[in-house]
């Protein structure tokens, strides 16, 4: 088994989901008492969130690159960044180490191709929805990507930071997100990407498929561990 190096804590609420999903999948595939061989660098999210608000992506990238270097030095064979938004600085992390990074968008693209979904909605933080670091990667894979309007983007961003990152799941927010998905579906989205690792916490029930990047990324980590 290859050793995974996880960079998490953004937020720790979703990072613990990664830990559980990865270990359960290793056990399912290998059986017996097998569990995941991994290292976790769980960072303090507060300074990163402040750098996000200040658009100081350079500082945030350097901070996560240092975490990556520590994981490489501790024996990680590859890296996974347990957040969608901070893949904005993925190139900075990759440049700091010699080991590969399993990009969170890659298994999402695979899932869309397998299910033949060509037009997808994208939900996440406002950075993920409005900047092109994530959306452009999907579009380069010949996917047509829809994002919500400004009001819905603000609603989704608020739910993520003010509630989910604090471990709070509010019924009103479940309904709000389901409504956002419904509007994307009305625009032609065949599926909706939950492009924030906390959004799966809401457990939304929708008419169109939801592609949970946390679940997809965790499975891709296991694929790499057992390759």
Q: Is 83 a catalytic residue?
A: yes
Q: What tokens appear for 66 in the block?
A: 């240092």
Maximal CA-CA distance, the chain = 49
Describe the strand order of the beta sheet including 4-8 as a list of residue ranges. Answer: 38-42, 4-8, 78-81
- State the catalytic residue, choosing from 82, 112, 196, 204: 196
Q: Is 196 a catalytic residue?
A: yes
110 vs 52, 75, 139, CA distance in Å? 29, 28, 13
- State the catalytic residue, choosing from 15, 17, 82, 83: 83
Q: Which amino acids are annotated catalytic?
A: 83, 196
């Amino acid at each position: 088994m290859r050793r995974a190096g996880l960079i998490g804590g953004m937020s720790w609420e979703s990072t613990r989901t990664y830990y559980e999903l990865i270990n359960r999948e290793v056990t399912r595939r290998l059986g017996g008492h097998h569990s995941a061989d991994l290292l976790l660098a769980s960072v303090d999210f507060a300074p990163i969130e402040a750098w996000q608000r200040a658009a100081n992506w350079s500082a945030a990238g350097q901070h996560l690159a240092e975490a990556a270097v520590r994981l490489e030095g501790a024996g990680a064979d590859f890296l996974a960044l347990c957040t969608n938004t901070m893949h904005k600085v993925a190139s900075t992390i990759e440049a700091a180490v010699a080991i590969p990074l399993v990009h969170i968008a890659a298994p999402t693209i695979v899932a869309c191709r397998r299910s033949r979904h060509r037009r997808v909605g994208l939900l996440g933080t406002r950075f993920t929805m409005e900047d092109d670091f994530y959306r452009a990667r999907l579009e380069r894979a010949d996917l047509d990507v829809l994002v919500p309007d400004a009001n819905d983007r603000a609603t989704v961003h608020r739910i993520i930071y003010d509630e989910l990152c604090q471990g709070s799941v509010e019924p009103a927010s479940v309904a709000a997100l389901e409504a956002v998905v419904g509007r994307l579906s009305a625009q032609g989205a065949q599926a909706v990407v939950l492009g924030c690792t906390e959004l799966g916490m809401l457990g939304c029930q929708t008419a169109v498929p939801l592609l949970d990047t946390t679940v997809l990324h965790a499975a891709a980590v296991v694929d790499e561990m057992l390759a």
